[in-house]
Chain A
Amino acid sequence: MTVLTTERCCKRCRNAQSARSLMAEVHIIGQIIGATGFPQNSLFCKWGIHTGGAWRLLSGLKEGQTQVDMPQIGDMAYWSHPIDLHYTTKGLQGWPKLHLQVWHQDSFGRCQLYGYGYCHVPSSPGQHRLQCATWRPLGSWQDQLAQIFVGGGPQLRTPDLIYSGADRYRLHTVAMGTVELELGVILRHFDRYGVET
Chain B
Amino acid sequence: MATKMSSPSDVREKINKKGRALKESFGRVRDDKQALVSSDWGLSKENDHTTVEEMAVEEEDPGETLRRSLKAKHMKRKKKLFKEMVLESPPDEENEETAVQEERGEGLQRDDSSPVRSPRDLPPRPVIRPGSSQSETSMKQRVAEKLRAAKSKTASLLEQESIIEPVSRLQSLRDRETLTRFDRDIDQDLRVDEDSSFAARLKFRGAARSAARDKRDEDAPLVSDVEEDLFVIGQSEHDFLEVRRAEYLGYSRRLQRERETVFVPSMRTVPASGKLPENVRPRYLEEEGLYVGERPSVSLTNRNILENRILKQAEGREWFGDDGRIMALPDPIKESSSRPPLFHLEDELDPALHTVYRKALKSKHANRYIAAMGDPQTDYQLDVDVSGLIFSHHPLFSREHVLGARLAQLYDQHLTGKQKKLTHLLTDKLNGLRNTIRNMLELHRGEALSQVTQHRIAEYKQEVRHTRHLRDVEQEKDRALLKNIIRVWKELKTLRDFQRFTNTPYKLFIRREMVDMDQDELEFNNEIVMEVSELRAEAEEDYQRKMSEYRRRHEDWKSWRRKQKALKKKQKKKRQQEDEDEDEESEEELGEEPEKHDSPEKPDMTAVEEQVREKATRIRRKPGEPVLIPELTVSGPVTPNEQCPRAEFARREDVAKRSLFIKVLYNDKEVSRTDSRTLNMDFRVHFGQIFNLKIVNWPESIKLQIFESVGSSSSQLAEVCVPVPESSVLTGSAPSEEMEFSSNQRVTFNHEGVGSGVPFSFEADGTNMQTLLTSGKLSCCVSWAVGMNDVPLAPPSNHPVGGVYSGLMQMDAIACIGASSLNDMKKLGKWAAESRLDPNDPNNASIMQLLSVVSGGEMAVPEYFRLEQLQEEFNFLSDEELQRSRRFRLLMLRSQEVPEFRHFKCVPSVEREISEKVFQEYERRIKEGEIIDTKDHIDAHRALVARYLQRVRESVINRFLIAKHHFILSDVVSEDEVPSIGGAGSGVLGLNLFKLAEPKRPLKPLRKERKKVTAQNLSDGDIKLLVNIIRGYDIPIRRPYTSKPPVSARSARPFTEQFTAPVSSQTPVQGSDWPLGQPLIRPFVEVSFQRSVLQTSTAEGPNPCWNEEIVLPFSAPNGDYCSTSLQSFKDEVFINLFDELLYDVVEDERERGNTIHTRIERHWLGSIKIPFSTIYLQSRIDGTFKVSTPPVLLGYSKERSLGSDGGYDAIRSLSDGTFLSLFITIEPQLVPGETIREKMKEVKFDSQELERLLTACEVFEKEAGRCFSDRPCLTTVIDMNGKTVFVTRFIRPLNPPQKLLDAFPNSPQDTMELVARYVSLIPSLPDSVSFARVCDLWSTCDQFLTLLAGDEEEHAVLLCNYFLFMGKKAWLIIGTAIPEGPTVYVLTYEQSRYLIWNPSTGQHYGQYDIFCPLQTIGCLINTDNVWFNMQPYAAPVRMSFDVSRPKLWKPFFSRAFPDPGLSSVQPESLVYRRTDRAAAVELQDRIEKILREKIMEWRPRHPTRWNRYCISTLRQFLPKLELSGGQEVAEEHRLELQSLLGEYRISGFPLHLPFSEIRPIIEAVHSTGVHKVEAPNAEFALAVYVHPYPSNVLAVWVYIASLVCAH
Which A residues have a C-beta under 8 Å from some C-beta of B?
Answer: 16, 20-24, 52-54, 56, 58-60, 86, 88-94, 106, 108-113, 137, 139-140, 143, 146, 150-158, 160-161, 164, 166-168, 170-172, 192-193
The complex places the Cα of A161 from the Cα of B354 at a distance, in Å, of 10
B360 in contact with A152 (CB, 8 Å): yes
A111 in contact with B894 (CB, 8 Å): no
A23 in contact with B353 (CB, 8 Å): no
Contact of A59 among B342, B354, B895 (CB under 8 A): B895
A52 in contact with B868 (CB, 8 Å): yes
Report A-chain residues with C-beta under 8 Å of the C-beta of B358: 112-113, 152-155
Residue of A nearest to B914 (CB): A21
- B residues 348-391 in Cβ contact with A at 8 Å: 349-364, 377
Report B-chain residues with C-beta under 8 Å of the C-beta of A92: 874
Nearest CB on B from A109, distance (A): 5
The complex places the Cα of A92 from the Cα of B876 at a distance, in Å, of 8
Contact of B355 among A16, A156, A164 (CB under 8 A): A156
The complex places the Cα of A173 from the Cα of B884 at a distance, in Å, of 47
Nearest CB on A from B362, distance (A): 5
A170 in contact with B875 (CB, 8 Å): no
Contact of B888 among A52, A88, A172 (CB under 8 A): A88
Residue of B nearest to A190 (CB): B876
Report A-chain residues with C-beta under 8 Å of the C-beta of B870: 93
A54 in contact with B871 (CB, 8 Å): yes
| Residue interface mask B859-890, A partner, CB < 8 A = 1 | 00000000110110011111101101101100
Nearest CB on B from A128, distance (A): 23
The complex places the Cα of A90 from the Cα of B872 at a distance, in Å, of 10
Is B344 interfacial (CB-CB < 8 Å)? yes
Contact of B875 among A59, A90, A172 (CB under 8 A): A90
The complex places the Cα of A24 from the Cα of B888 at a distance, in Å, of 11
The complex places the Cα of A137 from the Cα of B349 at a distance, in Å, of 14
Is B144 interfacial (CB-CB < 8 Å)? no
Contact of B876 among A23, A58, A60, A158 (CB under 8 A): A23
Residue of A nearest to B972 (CB): A67
Q: List 7 A-B contacts (CB under 8 A).
A: A52-B871, A58-B892, A110-B361, A112-B360, A137-B355, A164-B352, A170-B344
The complex places the Cα of A158 from the Cα of B374 at a distance, in Å, of 11
Contact of A154 among B355, B361, B892, B912 (CB under 8 A): B355
Report A-chain residues with C-beta under 8 Å of the C-beta of B361: 110-111, 152
Known: A20-B877, A24-B876, A93-B871. A110 touches B362 (CB 8 A): yes
Report B-chain residues with C-beta under 8 Å of the C-beta of A113: 358
A170 in contact with B349 (CB, 8 Å): yes
Is B923 interfacial (CB-CB < 8 Å)? no
- B residues 729-773 in Cβ contact with A at 8 Å: none
The complex places the Cα of A110 from the Cα of B868 at a distance, in Å, of 39
Known: A23-B882, A54-B871. A91 touches B876 (CB 8 A): yes
Known: A59-B895, A86-B891, A90-B876. A109 touches B362 (CB 8 A): yes
Which 10 pairs from chain A and chain B are nearest by CB?
A151-B360, A59-B895, A154-B355, A110-B360, A152-B359, A112-B360, A21-B911, A152-B360, A193-B876, A137-B355
Nearest CB on B from A6, distance (A): 14
| Residue interface mask B885-911, A partner, CB < 8 A = 1 | 101100110110000000000000001
A155 in contact with B355 (CB, 8 Å): yes
Report A-chain residues with C-beta under 8 Å of the C-beta of B888: 23, 56, 58, 88
Report B-chain residues with C-beta under 8 Å of the C-beta of A160: 352
B362 in contact with A90 (CB, 8 Å): no
Bin the interface of chain B by size. 35 or more
Known: A53-B871, A59-B894, A86-B891. A143 touches B876 (CB 8 A): no
The complex places the Cα of A57 from the Cα of B1133 at a distance, in Å, of 42
The complex places the Cα of A155 from the Cα of B354 at a distance, in Å, of 8
Report B-chain residues with C-beta under 8 Å of the C-beta of A140: 346
Which B residues have a C-beta under 8 Å from some C-beta of A?
Answer: 342, 344, 346, 349-364, 377, 867-868, 870-871, 874-879, 881-882, 884-885, 887-888, 891-892, 894-895, 911-912
Nearest CB on A from B729, distance (A): 23
Report A-chain residues with C-beta under 8 Å of the C-beta of B867: 52-53
The complex places the Cα of A138 from the Cα of B1263 at a distance, in Å, of 52
Contact of A90 among B356, B879, B895 (CB under 8 A): B879
Report A-chain residues with C-beta under 8 Å of the C-beta of B352: 157-158, 160-161, 164, 166
B356 in contact with A154 (CB, 8 Å): yes
B357 in contact with A89 (CB, 8 Å): no
Residue of B nearest to A138 (CB): B355
Inter-chain residue pair count (beta carbon < 8 A):
134
A54 in contact with B868 (CB, 8 Å): yes
Nearest CB on B from A66, distance (A): 13
Known: A152-B358, A153-B357, A170-B344. A94 touches B350 (CB 8 A): no
Nearest CB on A from B875, distance (A): 5
Report B-chain residues with C-beta under 8 Å of the C-beta of A137: 355
The complex places the Cα of A92 from the Cα of B877 at a distance, in Å, of 11
The complex places the Cα of A51 from the Cα of B894 at a distance, in Å, of 21
Report B-chain residues with C-beta under 8 Å of the C-beta of A90: 875-879, 881-882
A22 in contact with B911 (CB, 8 Å): yes
Nearest CB on A from B934, distance (A): 38
Q: Which of B342, B358, B895 has most A Cβ within 10 Å? A: B358
B360 in contact with A161 (CB, 8 Å): no
Known: A53-B868, A193-B876. A170 touches B359 (CB 8 A): no
Residue of A nearest to B791 (CB): A157
Report A-chain residues with C-beta under 8 Å of the C-beta of B346: 140
**Apart from A111-B361, A111-B362, A164-B352, what 4 extra A-B contacts exist at CB < 8 Å?**
A21-B887, A23-B888, A112-B360, A143-B355
Q: Which of A24, A58, A60 has most B Cβ within 10 Å? A: A58
A16 in contact with B877 (CB, 8 Å): yes
The complex places the Cα of A158 from the Cα of B356 at a distance, in Å, of 10
The complex places the Cα of A114 from the Cα of B491 at a distance, in Å, of 75
Residue of A nearest to B894 (CB): A59
Residue of B nearest to A157 (CB): B354
Contact of B891 among A20, A24, A58, A192 (CB under 8 A): A58
B868 in contact with A23 (CB, 8 Å): no
Nearest CB on A from B965, distance (A): 10
Q: Which of A20, A21, A161, A170 has most B Cβ within 10 Å? A: A21
Report A-chain residues with C-beta under 8 Å of the C-beta of B874: 91-93
The complex places the Cα of A58 from the Cα of B346 at a distance, in Å, of 43
Nearest CB on B from A170, distance (A): 6
Report A-chain residues with C-beta under 8 Å of the C-beta of B911: 21-22
The complex places the Cα of A59 from the Cα of B902 at a distance, in Å, of 12
Known: A111-B360, A111-B363, A155-B358. A60 touches B879 (CB 8 A): no
Known: A16-B877, A52-B871, A154-B356. A166 touches B350 (CB 8 A): yes
Contact of B360 among A150, A156, A171 (CB under 8 A): A150
B357 in contact with A146 (CB, 8 Å): yes
Report A-chain residues with C-beta under 8 Å of the C-beta of B887: 21
The complex places the Cα of A14 from the Cα of B355 at a distance, in Å, of 51
Nearest CB on B from A125, distance (A): 16
The complex places the Cα of A109 from the Cα of B363 at a distance, in Å, of 8
Report B-chain residues with C-beta under 8 Å of the C-beta of A54: 868, 871, 875
Known: A16-B876, A91-B876. A157 touches B355 (CB 8 A): yes
Residue of A nearest to B872 (CB): A91
Residue of A nearest to B344 (CB): A170
B881 in contact with A60 (CB, 8 Å): no
Report A-chain residues with C-beta under 8 Å of the C-beta of B876: 16, 23-24, 89-91, 192-193
Report B-chain residues with C-beta under 8 Å of the C-beta of A155: 355-358
The complex places the Cα of A54 from the Cα of B349 at a distance, in Å, of 32
Nearest CB on A from B342, distance (A): 7
Nearest CB on A from B1551, distance (A): 48
Report A-chain residues with C-beta under 8 Å of the C-beta of B879: 90
The complex places the Cα of A158 from the Cα of B895 at a distance, in Å, of 30
A170 in contact with B342 (CB, 8 Å): yes
The complex places the Cα of A19 from the Cα of B37 at a distance, in Å, of 81
Report A-chain residues with C-beta under 8 Å of the C-beta of B377: 111
The complex places the Cα of A24 from the Cα of B359 at a distance, in Å, of 45
Q: Which of A20, A146, A150 has most B Cβ within 10 Å? A: A20
